[in-house]
Structure 1
Amino acid sequence: MTSYALGDIQGCQPQMQELLEMIERESPYAKLLFAGDLVNRGPNSLDALRQVKNLEEKAVTVLGNHDLHLLAVAAGIGQIKPGDSIQPILDAPDRDELIDWLRHRPMAYTDDDYLLVHAGVLPQWDLNKTMELAHEVEMVLRGSDWKAFLKEMYGNVPNQWDDGLTGTARLRCIVNGLTRLRFCKADGEMEFASKMGTSEAPAGYMPWFDVPDRKTKDVTLVFGHWSTLGLLLRDNLIALDTGCVWGGQLTAVRLDDRSVFQVACPDFLEPFGAERT
């Protein structure tokens, strides 16, 4: 089956619909892989969430930081921020169904040829380790204590992986690696303040995918999250977030041959002065 990976939707549902129609014309029975952040910032988060949910088995989406933010707010833990566009989801008659569906999405997905995550993979994790750690978080999010976990999810420490981590610290480090990572040191120490492109890496840090001898270098990594990085295609790397919500494009890449499909987007965030997250 032909597979297409799509970058961060972030509530830009009309642009997503246009991109899906392009894909449908090319490959009517394609598998659709969404790199997370289905919601927030764009004006149609409710429609985007409903549409992807209704794709059922045709689509896979991993959880992104904005998706987790929605879950936290829905759980009564997180706070609505300027520029957020998730209130219509919280007010929707099918709110509980949507939230339940979202918290059952994976943190990472693989078919052995590629690994799909929202943001990144720490250099100490190989493919199997990444999937095992993702599953640890998934089991908590899908369980009865999911709200308690979300209350403890936020924070920048620990900022470096250690196999000896336990409890909340362990889960938080996994979440930060999979949904927030941009820059880290060669030993995997993460940095969360910098949100610009690779040319502005903080001293001593590098893009996570450029760490020498990272253990996923032999699998194709597919990810979004980093809008200032933009579209990046390497032999074993596909970066998909081209800043749709910031007036860029919404991007899909056909994994079979790396063909690129894009839809132009208006700048939804300029009136809010929102920061990239």
Structure 2
Amino acid sequence: MTDSGNVWVIGDVQGCGQPLQALLQHPDLTADPDARYWFAGDLVNRGPDSLGSLRTVMALGDRAVTVLGNHDLHLLAVAAGRKKFGKSDTIHAILDAPDAPELLDWLRHRSLAHYEYGHLMVHAGVLPAWTVAKTLALAGELEAALRGPNWKDTLERMYGNEPTGWKDDLAGSARMRVIVNALTRMRLCNSHGHMEFAHKGPPVKDGGLMPWFDVPGRAITDDTVIFGHWSALGLMIRPDAICLDTGCVWGRQLTALRLSDHKLVQIPCSQYQQPHQD
């Protein structure tokens, strides 16, 4: 039986294969042969080695828990022919790999939310009205769709910024879009818990907007939400929310946090090849 003492949570990798290898080989992480690794999404894209990053995490087997991020979903959508390549994409090697079908099948069977030891891990955020149970249930709806026979159609329907808020009677594509946008894209909300997607910089509290985790009256009060996705926010450790996107792909750090005591291990990424920033 394991406990949170051997769980390390790792922020956005985004195709930074060498820093990921260095992190996993760090003495603090290798000291426990039974260590488990939680990845907060965006294993791939923009970094120089998306294929290597994906293979590294897959090779961890049951020791790794991964939630899907927006870049992981983008890879699946491009593979499904539902989205076009972006100019900054570094996912070509995955799609060209001889075992691409197996790689993509593994990825689309990952979760959108994971809960253990009083911690809920998602890639981007949780809408203020959602409890832990509600978040896991709604994530499960999307997970079932991505794992089903019509998964390519699911990917086509999930893109778009509307609706911006949650209602229990949402159905079809509108329901799917709110779920995927909250869990994989959200940063800011207004005081009513409606999402805003234009802002990608540091946190602001302006014009009625605020970080999703600062919206008054959030339903999740006794558990900690762990997320990534927001490199401009960077490392944030609060009792109710932990952000681990420390901008490795932009030459900053790749971060691991031990769940039990919040011990940090960080790998400087500036020494590794970085993507071209157009």
Calculate the TM-score normalised by the size of structure 2: 0.95
In the alignment, which of 261, 268, 273 is matched to residue 274 of structure 2?
268
Identical-residue share of aligned pairs (%):
54
1:46-57 map, 5 Å: 46-57=51-62
- Amino acid paired to 1:230: G
What is the count of residue pairs matched by the alignment? 271
In the alignment, which of 20, 23, 44 is matched to residue 39 of structure 1?
44
- Residues 11-32 of structure 1, C-alpha deviations (whole Å, 9 max, x = no match): 0011001111114333331110
Partner of 1:243: 247
Match status 1:175 vs 2:213: no
Any idea what SS the aligned residue of 1:141 has? Answer: helix
Instruction: State the distance in 2 between where 1:96 and 1:272 align.
Output: 30
Any idea what SS the aligned residue of 2:249 has? Answer: coil
Calculate the TM-score normalised by the size of structure 1: 0.95
Instruction: State the distance in 2 between where 1:201 and 1:224 align.
Output: 20
Deviates more, 1:179-188 or 1:259-268: 259-268
Any idea what SS the aligned residue of 1:245 has? Answer: helix
How far is the alpha carbon of 1:202 from its aligned partner?
Answer: 4.5
Segments of 5+ residues of structure 2 without an aligned counterpart are none
- Residues 35-90 of structure 1, C-alpha deviations (whole Å, 9 max, x = no match): 00000000100011011111110000000000000000000111111111000000
Partner of 2:88: 83
Runs of 4+ in structure 1 over 4 Å off: none
How far is the alpha carbon of 1:201 from its aligned partner?
Answer: 4.3
- Residues 153-208 of structure 1, C-alpha deviations (whole Å, 9 max, x = no match): 1100011111110011001100000000100012111000100111x345111000
In the alignment, which of 55, 58, 65 is matched to residue 63 of structure 2?
58
In the alignment, which of 6, 18, 21 is matched to residue 17 of structure 1?
21
Match status 1:29 vs 2:34: yes
Partner of 2:216: 212
1:76-155 map, 5 Å: 76-155=81-160
Segments of 5+ residues of structure 1 without an aligned counterpart are none
Any idea what SS the aligned residue of 1:43 has? Answer: coil
